């Protein structure tokens, strides 16, 4: 017999979620052409810390600034030689375009 808390968790889908394709991996150069708040995935290298939560990301198409909050690293240690996949949203304003990263995965 399930407790009421277990039943609520089971009915809410706690611990589960969608398993399938997400946003296609795009190139850094394409980020500038995307709309604000568009979901993106990038695969390449974080090559430089720019200060605070800002970093420079590079792939074969170019570079783009990314914002990775401390808690989004998930305990990973990443060097410029490590290939990573970044998942996040495009953040555009009048003067710049960057990616606000939600998740970092090391290859």
pLDDT tens for residues 13-70?
Answer: 557 777 777 778 999 999 999 999 999 999 999 999 999 999 999 999 999 999 999 9
pTM of the model: 0.80
pLDDT tens for residues 81-100?
Answer: 999 999 999 999 999 999 99
Q: CA-to-CA distance for 57 and 59, rounded, in angstroms?
A: 7
Token look-up 């990573």 returns 84
Q: CA-to-CA distance for 88 and 74, rounded, in angstroms?
A: 14
């Amino acid at each position: 017999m399930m407790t009421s808390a277990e039943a609520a968790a089971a009915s809410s889908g706690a611990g589960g979620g969608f398993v399938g394709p997400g946003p296609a991996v795009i190139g850094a150069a394409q980020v500038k052409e995307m709309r604000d708040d568009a979901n993106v995935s990038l695969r390449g290298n974080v090559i430089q810390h720019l200060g605070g939560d800002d970093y420079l990301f590079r792939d074969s198409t170019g570079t783009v600034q990314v914002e990775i909050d401390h808690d989004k690293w998930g305990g990973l240690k990443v060097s410029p030689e490590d290939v990573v996949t970044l998942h996040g949203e495009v953040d555009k304003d009048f003067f710049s375009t960057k990616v606000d990263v939600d998740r970092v995965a090391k290859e």
